[in-house]
Amino acid sequence: MVEAIRYFSDPATCVQYLADRRWPDGPVCPKCGGSHHSFLATRFLWKCKACKKQFSVKVGTIFEDSPLGLEKWLPAVWLLFTRRTGISSVELSKAIGVTQKTAWFMAHRIRCASRTGSFNKAAGQVEADETFIGQKARNMHKHIRARKITGTGGKDKTVVGVMERGGAVRATVVESRKKKPLQQLVTDHVEPGAELFTDALKSYEGLDGEYV
């Protein structure tokens, strides 16, 4: 663990490490797909020679909208994937020097990414919807039943957010169908600019500013 944290303590090393694995044949502009670029070493950014847009190695990934640098994210990924017995958010927070709440958020994103097999966010045409799964409330213990979410069609079920891109499904349990948790789920897993399809649920309203 100490060796991993030391290795990833240098931001330049982190950027090169992730770039080599994300773009084995060289960086590709996420805007136009161009492969000709210049590298701004002081800012760890590439500038596409075709569309003139700047981009980082984090763009389009689960790391993109996080204020934390890769020197925090990559050791966290290493710890979650190498601990056979797993690691708690408290242990993770102490290991990489962040708060427990931040460590929980990081671990959540990394585990979701591991289930889909990619740290890239969904792009292109993406569907977002929710469903209800779980046992009937009458079969649960009283104190568990009391905590279950109520609402039309789902008083006996657990709410699960689902996103799909080209047949790939990303499913995550959410606390409710309210605006904040559902929109956070979309933000965590869908790349800005994607064509997002949802139903008429009002919780999704307001996402038009980032998604088509």
Strand 45-48, strand 37-40: pairing? antiparallel
| CB-CB contact of 142 with 153 (8 Å) | no
Mean pLDDT of 49-71: 89
**pTM assigned to the model:** 0.61
| CB-CB contact of 83 with 95 (8 Å) | no
Cα gap 98→78, rounded to integer Å? 16
Burial class (CB within 10 angstroms; exposed 0-12, middle 13-18, buried 19+) of 156: middle
Strand 168-173, strand 45-48: pairing? unpaired
Mean pLDDT of 82-92: 86
Domain boundary assignment for the chain: 2-116, 125-209
Does residue 158 carry a pLDDT above 70?
A: no
Mean pLDDT of 51-78: 90
Of 16-25, 55-64, 109-118, 135-144, which range is least confident?
135-144
Using one digit for the tens of pLDDT, what is the confidence trace for 90-134?
Answer: 999 999 999 999 999 999 888 877 776 666 677 778 888 887 776
Using one digit for the tens of pLDDT, what is the confidence trace for 166-204?
Answer: 666 777 777 778 888 888 778 777 877 778 888 888 888
| CB-CB contact of 44 with 12 (8 Å) | yes
What count of other Cβ atoms lies within 10 Å of the Cβ of residue 54?
16
What count of other Cβ atoms lies within 10 Å of the Cβ of residue 37?
19
Q: Residue 142 has what pLDDT? A: 63
Cα gap 147→156, rounded to integer Å? 11
Of how many residues is the chain composed?
Answer: 212
Mean residue pLDDT of the chain comes to 80
Contacts of 178 (CB under 8 A, 6+ apart): 203
Q: Residue 150 has what pLDDT? A: 47
If we measure between CA atoms, which residue out of 172, 168, 164 comes closest to residue 128?
164
Q: Residue 47 has what pLDDT? A: 95
Does residue 205 carry a pLDDT above 50?
A: yes
Of 11-20, 75-84, 93-102, 183-192, which range is least confident?
183-192
Mean pLDDT of 146-161: 52
Cα gap 66→106, rounded to integer Å? 9
